[in-house]
């Protein structure tokens, strides 16, 4: 499940990034909103890769993968919606940092769950 989700999030991150680079500028003139959109796409792409890595290298670590997925949805998703229609979605403002906390939790869960399995053993 997480492999599929990470792949879908990765593909959509590229699509959202392309839209931000080409289509969004026709609708939004504020450079800070364009920058926010690009940040959301960047974080989505990086953490999509982390979902894939977690699914492949630590498949039992469902907490890490789940935190990455929740973080992408909340962090990037709220930024996309706030950029497109800030008045309509202003209630989502607090969701962005909560999503960031989930991304941090995913990294932490990966570190704690892996217990250094990828470090070479000392001879």
Q: Where are the domains of the chain?
A: 2-114
Burial-class residue 53 by CB neighbours within 10 Å (0-12, 13-18, 19+): middle
Global confidence as pTM = 0.88
Q: State residue 19's pLDDT score.
A: 94
Q: State residue 113's pLDDT score.
A: 82
Q: What pLDDT digit, counting tens, does each position of 7-38 carry?
A: 999 999 999 999 999 999 888 989 999 999 99
Q: State residue 78's pLDDT score.
A: 98
Q: What pLDDT digit, counting tens, does each position of 39-92 carry?
A: 999 999 999 999 999 999 888 899 999 999 999 999 999 999 999 999 999 999
């Amino acid at each position: 499940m997480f492999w599929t989700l990470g792949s879908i999030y990765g593909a959509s991150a590229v699509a959202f990034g392309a839209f931000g680079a080409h289509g969004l500028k026709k609708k939004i003139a504020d450079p800070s909103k364009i920058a926010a959109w690009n940040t959301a796409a960047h974080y989505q792409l990086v953490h999509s890769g982390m979902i894939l890595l977690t699914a492949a290298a630590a498949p039992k670590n469902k907490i890490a993968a789940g935190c990455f997925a929740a973080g992408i949805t909340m962090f990037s998703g709220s930024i996309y919606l706030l950029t497109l229609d800030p008045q309509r979605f202003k209630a989502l403002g607090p969701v962005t940092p909560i999503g960031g906390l989930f991304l941090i939790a995913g990294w932490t869960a990966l570190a704690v769950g892996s217990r250094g399995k990828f470090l070479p053993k000392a001879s």
